[in-house]
Structure 1
Amino acid sequence: MKRFTCQSCGQLVFFENTRCDQCHAPLGYMPETASLAALVPMEKGLYHPLGQDKEGSARAFCANHAYDVCNWLTPALQVHDAFCFACQFNRVIPNLNIPGNMERWRKLEIAKHRLFYTILRLRLPVKSRQQDPQEGLVFDFLDDSPQSWPPIMTGHSHGVITIATKEADDAYREHMRVEMGEYYRTLLGHFRHEIGHYYWNVLIRDGGRLEQCRAVFGDDRTDYQSALQKHYARSTPDNWREHYVSHYAMSHPWEDFAETWAHYFHIVSTLETALSYDMTIGPMVDGKSVPTHRSDPYLHMPFDDIMEAWLPLTYAVNSLNRSMGLADFYPFVLTAGVRTKLRFIHDVVRNVQRESNQSSGLL
């Protein structure tokens, strides 16, 4: 995530802000430029970004801005009360008649918008359900009810990502993290994992990369339900970290890919944040810290440079967290086997970027 400042007064602002705390200028995110803009009100509920000409720059807030769950902007020429790029993928939102669901939805949208920030920064292809009725991406935020059984589970199927609304409750999510023996369980982590399944369909299955992927992650044709049952029934081998980023990644090649994909998103997004705040912790060579390469981890930083920047950063921030009595910021071990899988995903993403640049004439 970039570091954002208010163009009106220079105050540091954050991705989710809708108003500058210092000068009170309204703020809106423009996904086409990956920028958070201070806005000048116009007529009919429109705005134009500060410093831009009014002609052709008019913007409107997403329809979900009325619920205080979205600060993204749409071009003024779109239909009135249109949804922004991120919110167009919603199909079912939480039942707002249920007490507490407004705040749960807000947390879900914060995570989902951060997901789409990364998708756009990586220039990954994504189609809505309108563009692809069979496999297009769509989100269902579903509530358990007394009549529903089994309980709603977070998951992915043919482009439909279901997120159980209860995952937005910190107490429930922490309870499940402990019960499942997980090091890490967050809303953003759920989104990044499930979108990994979507991109396995788009970039691996339909992208002509099945055999290369199987050589790295294993044969996805293994029966999924049977593999899950065996996973939860067997004891965990002591050396599992040599090849898997998480215990759950051992269950099936699909889950291994999705877990590794999620970690790639964790890494490039957090590295961009660290670099934007001038955090340049580098590896030690002959007793001296070597500065981190400062190229864009989303588009230009080579994989080896990403790893060289990421590992010392996690050591430092884990130590800071422990100094505050908190859990580790990144409680995972990136062994050589895991890094091989991360490199595969990095190469797939960069190949997709090159193909996109070639088709748009940027190369």
Structure 2
Amino acid sequence: MNDELATALGPTTSRSYRCACNKAIFLRNTQCLNCARQLGYHVEGRTMLAIEPAPQPERWVLARDAAVAAEPTTPLFQRCANFATASNCNWLIPAGTAEHPHAPENLTPGFCLACTLTRTIPDMSSPVNQELWRKLEIAKRRLLSQLLSLALPVETRLERPNGLAFDLLENVPGGPAVLTGHDEGLITLNIAEADDAEREKIRAAMHESYRTLLGHYRHEIGHYYWDRLVKDTAWLAPCRELFGDETVDYAESLQRHYKEGPPADWPLHYVTSYATTHPWEDWAETWAHYLHMADTVDTAVSFGLDANSVDIESDPYTLDDLWKPDDPNAEHFLRFLNSWVLLTSVLNELTRSMGQPDYYPFVLPREAIGKLHFIHEVIRSASTGVVPEAPTQAAPAPSQSQSQSQSQSSAPSAPAAQPVQTIEAAPVKTD
């Protein structure tokens, strides 16, 4: 990738991390395999860092501060309380000192941001559930690290009533079916989606080209950010022009989709067939797709991959394909977009050389490019703090809530789960 691509997305973060010993480390690591230092994710720095024990019990300092660990002004950290659980969370949280008491008001005491957002987990007496929970949390931490790097608002329910929360639930004999969905900031995931065999079975049955845990998270968070960034703002009118009128009955739209399937010409207009269900789903599927693209390109740039000399089958996209071709940032987005096409062409050939399905089994129709550009601008606006003002008249209320919209769904949505006890100063509660 060239230097221009590295700046095309605005606020991005490196996915290439280094220990204090300069060896490569990765987002889910807890210890360096080279020097044996402990590692943790530093939320403020949006990066992985080496840590060393502080003089105080169960406290840590960044390795770069080890020489002044005893100084009262040296920042102290502690590991998330879920480090010692099946989740094996490696995120760091600030720890108080005599001169710098620091208990973040947006976090549950002892827990990091990622774990504070987890409201409910399944029964941990089951070893199977422990492994599924671990996979779910790893994917969620990946999602959140990207949202933070994009400078998107990530607020807990300790900060705002409709802040983010996650219920990770299992199907219980005699109980209601657990379906993945979103309801006023609460994202529910069926933990069976963390079972690779089960998820692949559903993917094949639904004739989907792609179904992953991270994909579910990115889709559902798209619904949250529609509420947070588009609803009742100046973004709503252009959003409707691109994605359609979201006030059409959601339940009827979902029922029609599962009864009749997508329109025959859907590949000309949408990123996936499920995006045809309803404007909310088109937004969420396109949002998820944008996050896939942005994180993959960030990773490629971080590791110095170069796909710019690759020939592709189709012509590059042009400014005329974008939502606003004359926008001052349009050229940057276009470079990002075409570099993405080049990169995925190489990645597809790599997976084919291993006899695996295509890494990127999608074809982006030109109509979807405008939607991706729009989402890019919404995210860029939110990250810079330049948020459009709300319209003078409120938008009409939707006829049916988006509460349980399905990401890569296999069945119509069920009513939202009943409220459960939130985290106190203890590990998350089981359902």
| TM-score after normalising by structure 2 | 0.76
Match of 1:256 in 2: 282
Match of 1:196 in 2: 222
How far residue 208 of structure 1 moved from its aligned partner, in angstroms, is 3.3
Deviates more, 1:184-193 or 1:97-106: 97-106
**Contact 2:80–2:112 (CA under 8 A) maintained in structure 1:** yes
1:138 partnered with 2:138: no
Post-superposition CA distance 1:234-268 (Å, at most 9, x none):
25444211110001000000000000000110011
**Contact 1:45–1:60 (CA under 8 A) maintained in structure 2:** yes
Report matched runs for 1:78-117 at 5 Å: 78-79=102-103, 82-117=110-145
CA distance in 2, matches of 1:20, 1:300: 41
Among 77, 89, 106, the residue aligned to 1:70: 89
Describe the SS at the equivalent of 2:127: coil
How far residue 301 of structure 1 moved from its aligned partner, in angstroms, is 8.6
Among 45, 63, 69, the residue aligned to 2:58: 45
What is the one-letter code of the residue matched to 2:363? V
Match of 1:328 in 2: 358
Describe the SS at the equivalent of 1:86: helix
How far residue 337 of structure 1 moved from its aligned partner, in angstroms, is 0.7
Post-superposition CA distance 1:35-83 (Å, at most 9, x none):
2111111231111111124332211011111115210000112459611
What is the one-letter code of the residue matched to 1:10? N
Match of 1:294 in 2: none
Higher relative contact order (CA 8 A, sep 6+): 2
Match of 1:21 in 2: 33
How far residue 34 of structure 1 moved from its aligned partner, in angstroms, is 1.2
CA distance in 2, matches of 1:301, 1:56: 44
CA distance in 2, matches of 1:327, 1:177: 13
| TM-score after normalising by structure 1 | 0.90
Match of 1:225 in 2: 251
How far residue 21 of structure 1 moved from its aligned partner, in angstroms, is 1.1
CA distance in 1, matches of 2:164, 2:94: 22
Among 164, 167, 171, the residue aligned to 2:197: 171
Match of 1:340 in 2: 370
How far residue 356 of structure 1 moved from its aligned partner, in angstroms, is 5.9
Match of 2:5 in 1: none
**Contact 2:344–2:359 (CA under 8 A) maintained in structure 1:** yes
Describe the SS at the equivalent of 1:51: helix
Among 329, 348, 360, the residue aligned to 1:318: 348
CA distance in 1, matches of 2:251, 2:281: 12
Deviates more, 1:45-54 or 1:315-324: 45-54
How far residue 233 of structure 1 moved from its aligned partner, in angstroms, is 1.9
**Contact 1:62–1:81 (CA under 8 A) maintained in structure 2:** no
CA distance in 1, matches of 2:159, 2:76: 26
The alignment's C-alpha RMSD in Å is: 2.1
**Contact 2:262–2:276 (CA under 8 A) maintained in structure 1:** no
What is the one-letter code of the residue matched to 2:172? S
Gaps of 5+ in 1: 291-298, 358-363
Describe the SS at the equivalent of 2:238: helix
How far residue 284 of structure 1 moved from its aligned partner, in angstroms, is 5.8
Among 123, 140, 147, the residue aligned to 2:174: 147
Describe the SS at the equivalent of 1:198: helix
How far residue 336 of structure 1 moved from its aligned partner, in angstroms, is 0.8
Deviates more, 1:136-145 or 1:230-239: 230-239
**Contact 2:262–2:274 (CA under 8 A) maintained in structure 1:** no
CA distance in 2, matches of 1:185, 1:251: 17
**Contact 2:170–2:178 (CA under 8 A) maintained in structure 1:** yes
Deviates more, 1:51-60 or 1:28-37: 51-60
Match of 2:155 in 1: 127
Among 306, 314, 337, the residue aligned to 1:307: 337
CA distance in 1, matches of 2:209, 2:192: 19
CA distance in 2, matches of 1:178, 1:284: 31
CA distance in 2, matches of 1:225, 1:236: 16
1:282 partnered with 2:308: yes
1:272 partnered with 2:298: yes
Describe the SS at the equivalent of 1:279: coil
Post-superposition CA distance 1:248-297 (Å, at most 9, x none):
00000000000000011001101010011111212668xxxx9xxxxxxx
Give % identity.
Answer: 44
CA distance in 1, matches of 2:309, 2:341: 8
